[in-house]
Structure 1
């Protein structure tokens, strides 16, 4: 079936404008533009081909990009992560068949584009992120963020804690990101959670780090986290097993308080996600990544991010595709999402 030019103009205008619940009379929620309406190789590359909004007015959740890589210590390229994740997300459909989650029949969701960043000044970029996210969450909208390197989580947590107070943290990563400095600098992708602890942004008794591994600078590389009450689950404790039992324990640890999820794509083994800046062998499988996020269902999740996708090292596109699917899984476990199963 061919669509007329006038139909397509009207459809695109409806999909890509400043959207709120008040804009819609004929339907309650936004839904992704399906492959039955426009070929998946066409259309504007928003997250899952959702409508693009210029604010979070009327939104329950939003996808947002933070395109930076100047906090990276090794291979750059994550500034292109949000764009490539959006491009890969065209193959993600609107219902989670496995879990029964129907997020687009439950929440008003849109893609709000990217945060303004200063590629020549990392502290200024962090200021912009903090101020932008404070506005995003002001009315209760839950941000699902595509990075960008892991520096972005620090200013996001500043904004989140400013609204909700200290939050619990489910941190999935190959690295603890609790260094004091990197090349003498306090702000970098390996210092985010140390700064968050110092500023009281985290409820440290409700923090878990999953998937940590690799060589280090000493046998006590995770001492800072342990001294501050974090639960650390090294990758070796995840090998050859389902992580669903672990996540039942994590859910109990998180309780009813607000929780933030931060998923560094390098938590996955580079066999599954090669397109990242600091890969470490012996990581989680894609299936275990799904288990971790699905295990967050029922938590009071107030925000989440997926970081460190570096398209220049992602020659097959599998890393960006995995990132897009993990962001969808994050959406599926938000409070208020209905399940058909």
Structure 2
């Protein structure tokens, strides 16, 4: 059983920084979830520096504790987890980085381990989805973001952080019938920036609509859309309002607070989630590390969802 160091016995400022003070171990034996970094950021279009995001999130995560009171579960009663380290990336070469992502994730997915992937810019999600589709076939997507990331190209380039989900649909990686995007907002080049995502088959709930219908209705629509499909969750930290998460590459005002974002992730409990990524954390713009705290908390809730899923499975098997 792999679990964090006990911070009541070992001070948080001791040791090499890993997520939640988990053991840094690249193993697939006796593991239910693995936190890993993909520090690639040369597909960003404005601010760069998300390559430093995984370690920034790890630094903030030392404050996390095993028991999640909101979900009433001690994660490590049900799950064993490690910090798997970072996958190797090739700066400036996105296609070879995608190959490395697929190669790195495949052993985890073959063993039924849930990856919690820390970016890096949002372009890495295409590599992640290639790995998941290779293992499971086309997979549903829940996408929290202020941008739909379904542009056809950026600067004439097909593989950027604003294009991964169009490419994923074109490659047949996503089951769009069960996929949904939440939080889109901000100035656009034209109405097609949102319409194109819908034309690709996604259900899209803009932030304006989120405010109108409320978060509980948003969760109901997510569950209704995804149903029993296997689902991958992709969370861009710029989904959160920059007042609560300033450390990101393309901030947009008008997003949810950090606790609203946490509650949305908590509300995904009950879905058949097989993996997560959390992207676009940019340390250089992170005042007081509040973005890192928010990001580590979101990742913690993702791990909690894996533990809740494992608990349900154990309860069902004991009936």
Give TM-score, length-normalised by structure 2.
0.94
Give 1 or 2 for the bigger CA radius of gyration: 1
Q: Which residue of 194, 197, 221 maps to 2:166?
A: 194
Q: Could you list the runs of 5+ residues in structure 1 that have no partner in the other structure? A: 1-28
| 1:58 corresponds to | 30
Does the aligned pair in 2 maintain the 1:53–1:110 contact within 8 Å? yes
Does the aligned pair in 2 maintain the 1:274–1:319 contact within 8 Å? yes
Deviation at 1:338, TM superposition (A): 6.2
What SS class does the counterpart of residue 316 from structure 1 fall into? helix
Correspondence 1:333 to 2:305:
yes
RMSD between aligned residues: 1.5
Q: Could you list the runs of 5+ residues in structure 2 that have no partner in the other structure? A: 314-319
| 1:297 corresponds to | 269
| 1:92 corresponds to | 64
Does the aligned pair in 2 maintain the 1:239–1:284 contact within 8 Å? no
Correspondence 1:248 to 2:189:
no
Which has more helix, going by share of residues?
2
Correspondence 1:261 to 2:210:
no
| 1:72 corresponds to | 44
Deviation at 1:52, TM superposition (A): 1.3
| 1:169 corresponds to | 141
CA distance in 2, matches of 1:158, 1:35: 37
Does the aligned pair in 2 maintain the 1:74–1:277 contact within 8 Å? yes
| 1:23 corresponds to | none
| 1:118 corresponds to | 90
Does the aligned pair in 1 maintain the 2:146–2:186 contact within 8 Å? yes
Deviation at 1:285, TM superposition (A): 1.4
Per-residue deviation, residues 283-336 of structure 1 (Å, max 9, x unmatched): 121122112111110111010011000001113100011100100001111221
CA distance in 1, matches of 2:38, 2:259: 26
Does the aligned pair in 2 maintain the 1:45–1:86 contact within 8 Å? yes
| 1:184 corresponds to | 156
Q: Which residue of 266, 270, 273 maps to 2:242?
A: 270
Per-residue deviation, residues 139-170 of structure 1 (Å, max 9, x unmatched): 11110011110011001100001111111111
CA distance in 1, matches of 2:99, 2:20: 28
| 1:42 corresponds to | 14
Q: How many residues align?
A: 311
What SS class does the counterpart of residue 222 from structure 1 fall into? helix
What SS class does the counterpart of residue 161 from structure 2 fall into? coil
